[in-house]
Structure 1
Amino acid sequence: MEKNHPEALPRLNELYAGLRPVDDVFAYLGRPLAQRQELAARAQQAWELVSSRQGSGSEAFHWAEQNARSIAQTAKFTVGGAEPGRNEHTLDQVGYRDFHLDVRKAPAAARAWLNVARPTLNVGTQFPEQPRDVAIAKSFDVLIHLHEVREAHRPAP
């Protein structure tokens, strides 16, 4: 950006100011949720700014865009509720709030349901992702369902 689009550098630096430092994720997680959400929105704006510059196709531009994407994608911490028809929505209806299931030993009726591909949100390092069709029984040996997942908090000393 500095070489090919120096005019965008002040705005990019402004957007990145105060974002999560790589070496102290616990300090970042200790910030109030509203502040982290505002920082996540700024990270998204920074990614959009970098991507809009469509560099010369150079390797440096691709690295800059990948870095901006990574920062934006890992700055988000909230996910809405599962929509009807998604695996998570049905799993939320089970009588136990949190549970695990050895999918290989599930009763026949459950296995029939688990063998059908349905939209599933898999939250991992590539988040945010769109739901993808996943047949749980064909993809996993063990299912661990947590009704609610929150960001980590640093334990008190």
Structure 2
Amino acid sequence: MAHPRQADLAGLIDALQAEGVEFIVVGGASAVLHGALAMTQDLDVVHRLTPENVARLATVLEGLDAFVREPAQRRLRPQAAHLSSGGQLNLLTSLGPLDLLGRLHDGRGYDELLAHSEVLTDGIHQVRVVDLPTLIEIKTTAGRAKDRIVVPMLLALLRERERH
């Protein structure tokens, strides 16, 4: 099965939600969901590290024919130990790239981020994303070129929201 290099964000989110996986969208997809005119090729999520949630996540990944992106030629399947480690796992799925983070670079995991997240809806779908101030903090701290590009857009969105 061919695996796309561009994420089907809605499809990946739907697959995770259908299995009851607890997660918070972070990264570029979070910026897009907040309304930033940004591009992203993958879905980055911080998932809860409980055994039950890891088991649900493993079920989703099996259904999505997920494997570790590098080295792609080896098609290494994610194992429960990888999913519960708290590290980062960059996968390629039948719905595109999916990056799983047990914790952010600063050590915050799902439970710590929960208070700094919000549920966004388009009237049909609902998804938990990291809130805008926290996303700005994450992107600023990361300091990568792609993050420096999106931070001004996120700051403008935040100022606009604060005015209303």
* Normalised TM-score (structure 1): 0.23
More strand per residue = 2
Bigger CA radius of gyration = 1
* Normalised TM-score (structure 2): 0.22
